[in-house]
Structure 1
Amino acid sequence: MTNPLAVILEKNHLAGPNYINWLWNVKIVLNSEDIDYVLAAPTPSLPVEDASIEDHAIYRKWMADERKVRSYLMASMSNALQVQHESMPDSREVLLYLRELYGENIRSTRFQLTT
């Protein structure tokens, strides 16, 4: 059986001009996986060694969810974009760069939607 979330991202690979539609679909997938908070929440600090077990567990979960988010982002890009973003440290950095890269498209699309 095919994963419906994988199908969404497979059909909506980021190629550049489709950034807004891609981002919309990525957010749908991340929300359904309950990991979309990673894009909005600040990265937690590495807990000190004597921090509580709960603090360590929260940090490990956040880092695991960050890896999932980054994997979804990378898997849903063209190969050329994957190469450009593979060395970026986290998913928010990837999205920030993409927003800068395709920002003009975002502004023109918003303008077209309001006229």
Structure 2
Amino acid sequence: MEKSLSLISILDANKLTSPNFIDWFRNVKIVLKQEKKAYVLDGLVPEEPSDAATNEDKEAYRVYMDDLDQATCVMLASMALDLQKQHKAMNVLDIILNFREMFNKKSHTERFDISKELF
């Protein structure tokens, strides 16, 4: 029997807390790439197919949504509990946008405070 290589343990050891967002996100991308689900981070969400769509289009959409859900679960499972609670109703794309907004504001504020002290 062939063993399956799983890098998810990387995320167990490096859970997201606010100061380690960049390192955490890099690890999430590595895990999702290994799991063949990193494409969901591209942000190209397909439109839901109409009732008249082909079975292939419906299946492609279903597979994408399943991969999006799995990627979201990987992210949520690798966060500190307080961050999980804040983001449990979001998908992977909304989570990343929210974190970038949160942590970029924080880094801008920190840079401003450091500059203020220097001058």
How does the TM-score come out when normalised to structure 1?
A: 0.84
- What are structure 1's unaligned runs of at least 5 residues? 109-115
Tell me whether 1:102 sits opposite 2:103 in the alignment: yes
For 1:47, what is the secondary structure of its paired residue?
coil
What is the distance in 1 between the residues matched to 2:39 and 2:107? 22
| Structure 2 letter corresponding to 1:48 | S
Aligned-pair identity in percent equals 36
- TM-score under structure 2 length normalisation: 0.82
Name the structure 2 match of 1:31: 33
Give the Cα–Cα distance (whole angstroms) in 2 for the partners of residues 31 and 104 of structure 1: 28
Distance 1:22 1:105, change over 3 A: farther
Query: Contact 2:43/2:93 (CA < 8 Å) preserved in 1?
Result: no
In the superposition, relative to structure 1, how do residues 74 and 66 fare at CA in structure 2: closer, same or farther (>3 Å)? same
Residues 11 and 99 (structure 1 numbering): CA distance in 2 closer, same or farther, change over 3 Å? same
Aligned counterparts, 1:1-115, within 5 A: 4-88=6-90, 90-104=91-105
Report how many residues are paired: 108
Distance between the aligned counterparts of 1:3 and 1:82, measured in 2?
26
Give the CA deviation at 1:6. Answer: 2.2
Report how far residue 4 of structure 1 moved: 4.0
> Which structure is higher in RCO with an 8 Å CA cutoff and minimum separation 6?
1
Q: Distance in 1 between matches of 2:25 and 2:75?
A: 9
Higher Cα radius of gyration: 2
Structure 1 residue 2: Cα displacement: 9.7
The separation in 1 between residues aligned to 2:87 and 2:41, in whole angstroms, is: 16
Please state how far the C-alpha of 1:42 moved relative to its aligned partner.
1.4
Give, as a single letter, the amino acid of the residue that structure 2 aligns with 1:97.
N
Which segments of 5 or more consecutive residues in structure 2 lack a partner in the other structure? 111-119
CA 1:66 to 1:106, structure 2 compared with 1: closer, same or farther past 3 Å? farther
